Amino acid sequence: MALIDSQLTIDDSIIFIGDCVNVLKRLRSNSVQCIITSPPYWGMRDYNIQGQIGLENEINEYFLKLELVFNEAKRILKKNGTLWLNIGDGYTSGNRKYRASDKKNPARKMTTRPDTPSGLKRKDLIGIPWKLAFRLQESGWYLRSDIIWHKPNGMPESVKDRPYRNHEYLFLLSKSERYQFDAEALKAENGKRQRSVWEVPTKANNIKHSAIFPEDLIIGCVECSTKKDEFVLDPFFGSGTVGKICKELDRKFIGIEINSEYVSMALERINSEINVITSGTIKEISSSLDSSQMAN
Ligand X SMILES: C[S@@+](CC[C@H](N)C(=O)[O-])C[C@H]1O[C@@H](n2cnc3c(N)ncnc32)[C@H](O)[C@@H]1O
Is residue 92 close enough to count as binding ligand X by CB under 6 A? Answer: no
Please say which residue, 86 or 226, places its beta carbon nearer to ligand X. 86
Q: What backbone phi and psi angles, to 5 degrees, belong to 59?
A: -65, -30
Interaction of residue 257 with ligand X, rule CB under 6 A: yes
User: Which range, of 98-106, 118-126, 238-246, 286-294, touches ligand X by CB under 6 A?
Assistant: 238-246
Q: Is the CB of residue 89 less than 8 Å from the CB of residue 128?
A: yes
| Contact residue for ligand X among 47, 84, 141, 171 (CB under 6 A) | 47
Query: Is 90 near ligand X (CB under 6 A)?
Result: no
Task: Report yes or no: 132 and 89 within 8 Å, Cβ to Cβ.
Answer: no
**238 belongs to the binding site for ligand X (CB under 6 A):** yes
Q: How far is the CB of 42 from ligand X (least distance, A)?
A: 11
26, 113, 151, 209: residue in contact with ligand X (rule CB under 6 A) = 209
Q: Quick one: 52 or 80, whose CB is closer to ligand X?
A: 52
Question: Which of 62, 149, 253, 262 lies at the binding interface for ligand X (CB under 6 A)?
Answer: 262
Query: Which residue from 20, 224, 246, 277 is in contact with ligand X, where contact means CB under 6 A?
Result: 20
Beta carbon of residue 238, minimum distance to ligand X (angstroms, whole number):
3
Nearer to ligand X, 124 or 261 (CB): 261
Q: Which of 53, 55, 73, 128 binds ligand X (CB under 6 A)?
A: 53
Using alpha carbons, select from 220, 219, 81 the residue that is nearest to residue 73. Answer: 81
Number of residues in contact with ligand X under rule CB under 6 A: 21
Query: Minimal CB distance to ligand X: which residue?
Result: 238
The answer to the question of residue 40 lying near ligand X (CB under 6 A) is: yes
- For residue 168, state whether it binds ligand X (rule: CB under 6 A): no
Inter-CA distances, 177 with 35, 94, 183, 207, 282, Å: 17, 41, 16, 38, 34
Q: Which member of 68, 211, 276, 294 binds ligand X (CB under 6 A)?
A: 211
Q: How far is the CB of 58 from ligand X (least distance, A)?
A: 17
Of these, 66, 258, 263, 277, which contacts ligand X (CB under 6 A)?
258
Residues in contact with ligand X by the rule CB under 6 A: 19-20, 38, 40, 47, 51-53, 209, 211-213, 236, 238-239, 241, 256-259, 262
